[in-house]
Amino acid sequence: MKTDIILAGVGGQGILSLAAVIGEAALADGLYMKQAEVHGMSQRGGDVQSHLRISDRPVASDLIPLGQADLIISLEPMEALRYLPYLQKDGWVVTHSEPFENIPNYPEISEVMKVYETLPHKVILNVEQIAKELGTPRSGNIVLLGAASLYLPIDFSKLENGIRRIFGKKGEDVVAMNLKALQAGKKIGNRTIFT
Amino acid sequence: MKKQLLLGDEAIAQAAIDAGLSGVYSYPGTPSTEITEYIQSSSLARERKIVSRWCSNEKTAVETALGMSYAGKRVISCMKHVGLNVAADAFMNTAMSGVNGGMIIVSADDPSMHSSQNEQDNRVYGNFALLPVFEPSNQQEAYDMVYEGFELSERWGYPILLRITTRMAHSRSGVQTREVQPQNPMHIDSNEPSRYILLPVNARRRYKALLAKQDEFRMASENSTYNRLFLEHRAPLGIVACGIAFNYLQENYPDGFKHPVLKISQYPLPKKQLMQLADSCEAILVLEDGFPVVEEQLKGYLGLGLNVRGRLDGSLPRDGELTPDNVRKALGMEVVSPFSAPAILVNRPPALCAGCGHRDVYQALNDVLKEYPGAQVFSDIGCYTLGALPPFRAIHSCIDMGASITMAKGAAEAGVFPSIAVIGDSTFTHSGMTGLLDCVNANANVLIIISDNETTGMTGGQDSAATGRIHAICQGIGVEPGHLHGIVPLKKNYEEMKAIIRKEIDYPGVSVIVPCRECIQTHARKVKLNRR
């Protein structure tokens, strides 16, 4: 068993904490993992990505080879498309639907969505909207993780534990808020696939 | 012990703490910063009173580390690759003096220049200084090398260079930690005390000693468990894989290598195993992240010996980091990518944060400089380098730490008017102060803007050695009080800022303006902490 995941977004959206939750969960599940992150200059409003590799055998490369990612999880619709060359033919893209427009030449969103129409496997959700409705407006990234959890080789309860460990320092209510967001994301992810 | 999920940087930090570290001396720089930050936030490090304050620059860091080693304690000094240029004088000469307490210098190189101005490969510094270099292939090796490295350094009496690259520094994996060792007591080495006095008479003796040590270093590489020769599969092409290149090689042979392979993670090169590899095949492909260091050594300048492939013959790209994909191509295998990047994609370059004080400084400066068509703005390394990008396009240079002030001086002396420097607070105390003294001594016609955000911003907000001291430093260096101004870079102060800039451009001498407003990122973090 091996799952290769690209996490994508814009600096400051919460991609790295999302990666950290999955990483903690995988390690707790006794799995091998490697997760390459981007720090430094690229965090300031630039594109951010993380390569996350989970396996029941030791993982060699820190980077995912082209054409091998099983999953792209993205907090921004155009950013997900940047990593399409990494996606394998049966891979899924799970993305937030709303563009993050901090550049003057962002393409028309309709053009972005046209690319999605050509992809065989995708889940497109407005996770910010869902998070707002939950009363936890800052946990859109964890809603997205909940939706993507259906494609992860990790027990849902392990993800919940991952959230407890990663957000534990920030207090009980932050943990509770994120657990709620994870649950909601899972529910909606389910509905998206089966309807 | 339990496996911990650690970045390569964090594995190095944890290993140092566990191995009985007494001090870490560093200057922030991507991708090395997290090593020192991890030690700063470690409760075990606090308990053990490990010294972990940031230094003014990499040179002061390595020198301070040498002082701690002199006093018998274990010490580590961490920097990005270009930081070792700043520390090179100290580094090269620690190889002459040698050390007492175990000393490890970490160079975090950045091939592909994710956050850097060049992609120099600091294994070259290892060869240059004639010191052993370690290059881990994974996070566990990084941990083990540092854990064992202090003892090796003490046994050899020399510092060790640990070279990592971005993908090792910033990739996380499970790491098995080991038993925590006691710290060294303070002890001054009474054996050959003159070795620290590098007068020619001593230096000549020390250089002979260093040269004599080379065989021991090489034999250590040949006997190292980090260097491994795999001769199970015979093939005409043998492969040398250095550091993390070994992972990319393994990735492409999930069921075992089809070639003879030599993994190298400890230098100087293991000659014995290289001879064995060369004897077993007709050609050697060298996989190494960074410069073709090993490739050049094996090939020789005239290329008359071994048939060596790698970055120099086009088997791999000459520049940029290795990936599993370019390694795959070099191995003659196909890379298949079912989806391609769509044409609508546009780049998303990093930008100054909304609300950042540097923005207000550039806005005011740009407005004034419309009146001075000959203006040249020399800038420096930091967040404010992003002022080069639209919408500001406000600067004309960014070379190395501190070069803004000295370049502005040189340009002014060549006739540029107005010649302006824009430098950050931390960069100013890192390497700008000496340049300012040059300006004052020459009464150069320059305007120096020290854009002070009270932190080292680009690397994530580490303490700046300059905080609260810039005015006193400038006065002490000799800037005339009438031409040293402070201002808060806010919209409401635009007109005042512009008036000061205009006035000081017109003053024929050294002027310093210090726009000061805290970085909005560190400010937000403090507000959050206080709320809790």
Domain boundaries, chain B: 3-219, 228-330, 357-524
CA distances from B477 to A130, B20, B54, B409 (A): 58, 40, 23, 16
Nearest-Cα distance to chain B for A83, in Å, is 7
Determine, for residues B168 and A88 on separate chains, whether the beta-carbon distance falls below 8 Å: no
Class of domain B3-219: alpha beta
**pLDDT of B123 strictly over 80:** yes
Confidence (pLDDT) at B470: 98
User: SS in 3 state form for B257-285?
Assistant: CCCCEEEECEECCCHHHHHHHHHHCCEEE
Determine, for residues A46 and B349 on separate chains, whether the beta-carbon distance falls below 8 Å: yes
Give chain A's end-to-end CA distance (angstroms, integer): 28
The domain that contains A37 carries what CATH number?
3.40.920.10
Nearest-Cα distance to chain A for B245, in Å, is 9
Which residue type, as a one-letter code, is found at position B415?
G
A169 CB near a chain B CB, below 8 Å? Answer: no
Confidence (pLDDT) at B1: 60
- For domain B228-330, give its CATH number from 3.40.50.920, 3.40.50.1390, 3.40.50.1110, 3.40.190.10: 3.40.50.920
Q: Give the residue from chain A lying closest to B352, CA to CA.
A: A44
Query: How many angstroms from the chain centroid is the CA of residue B29?
Result: 5
pTM: 0.96
Which comes out higher in pLDDT, residue A155 or B153? B153
Average pLDDT for chain B: 96
B501 CB near a chain A CB, below 8 Å? Answer: no
Residues of A in contact with B33 (CB under 8 A): 39-40
**pLDDT of A166 strictly over 70:** yes
The dihedral of CA A79, A81, A82, A87: what is its sign?
A: positive
Confidence (pLDDT) at A194: 46
Cis before residue B28, ω within 30 degrees of 0? no
From CA B342, how far away is CA B99, in angstroms rounded? 56
From CA B379, how far away is CA B486, in angstroms rounded? 19
Q: Of A168-177, B149-158, B245-254, which gets the smallest average pLDDT?
A: A168-177
**pLDDT of A41 strictly over 70:** no
Confidence of residue A128 (pLDDT cuts 50, 70, 90): very high
Q: What are the tokens at B416?
A: 């540029």
Count of CB atoms within 10 A of residue A23's CB? 24
From CA B328, how far away is CA B18, in angstroms rounded? 38
3-class secondary-structure state, position B410: helix
Q: What are the tokens at B387?
A: 């002022």
From CA B460, how far away is CA B456, in angstroms rounded? 7
Confidence (pLDDT) at B301: 87
The dihedral of CA B486, B489, B492, B495: what is its sign?
A: positive
Could you tell me which of A74, A34, A80 has the C-alpha nearest to residue B339?
A80
In chain B, the percentage of residues whose pLDDT exceeds 90 is 94
Confidence (pLDDT) at A195: 37
- For domain B357-524, give its CATH number from 3.40.50.970, 3.40.50.2300, 3.40.50.720, 3.90.1150.10: 3.40.50.970
Confidence (pLDDT) at B412: 98
ipTM of the complex: 0.93
Instruction: Give the domain range for residue A42.
Output: 2-194
**pLDDT of A40 strictly over 90:** no
Q: What is the mean pLDDT of residues B426-445?
A: 98
Residue keyed to tokens 């932190």: B455
Could you tell me which of B462, B448, B458, B457 has the C-alpha nearest to residue B517?
B457
Q: Of A41-50, A101-110, B103-112, B215-224, which gets the smallest average pLDDT?
A: A41-50
Q: What is the mean pLDDT of residues A128-145?
A: 93
Determine, for residues A62 and B168 on separate chains, whether the beta-carbon distance falls below 8 Å: yes
Could you tell me which of B389, B360, B395 has the C-alpha nearest to residue B375?
B395
Q: Of A64-73, A136-145, B282-291, which gets the smallest average pLDDT?
A: A136-145
Smallest Cβ–Cβ distance between A41 and the set B5, B30, B340 belongs to B30
pLDDT tens, B27-50? 999 999 999 999 999 999 999 999
Residues of B in contact with A41 (CB under 8 A): 30, 114-115, 350, 458
User: SS in 3 state form for chain A?
Assistant: CEEEEEEEEECCCCHHHHHHHHHHHHHHCCCEEEEECCCHHHHCCCEEEEEEEEECCCCCCCCCCCCCEEEEEECCHHHHHHCHHHEEEEEEEEEECCCCCCCCCCCCHHHHHHHHHCCCCEEEECHHHHHHHHCCCCCHHHHHHHHHHHHCCCCHHHHHHHHHHHHHHHCHHHHHHHHHHHHHHHHHHHHHHHC
Q: How many CB pairs under 8 A join A and B?
A: 149
B190 CB near a chain A CB, below 8 Å? Answer: no
Determine, for residues B386 and A112 on separate chains, whether the beta-carbon distance falls below 8 Å: no
Query: How many angstroms from the chain centroid is the CA of residue B37?
Result: 15
Confidence of residue A43 (pLDDT cuts 50, 70, 90): low
From CA B96, how far away is CA B130, in angstroms rounded? 9
What's the length of chain B?
532
Residue keyed to tokens 């910033």: B170
Using an 8 Å Cβ cutoff, are B195 and B206 in contact?
A: yes
Q: Give the total number of structural domains in chain A.
A: 1
Nearest-Cα distance to chain B for A176, in Å, is 17
In chain B, the percentage of residues whose pLDDT exceeds 70 is 100
Nearest-Cα distance to chain B for A194, in Å, is 25
**pLDDT of B240 strictly over 90:** yes
pLDDT tens, B282-327? 999 999 999 999 999 999 988 888 899 999 999 999 999 999 999 9
Q: What is the mean pLDDT of residues B509-522?
A: 97
From CA B517, how far away is CA B452, in angstroms rounded? 6
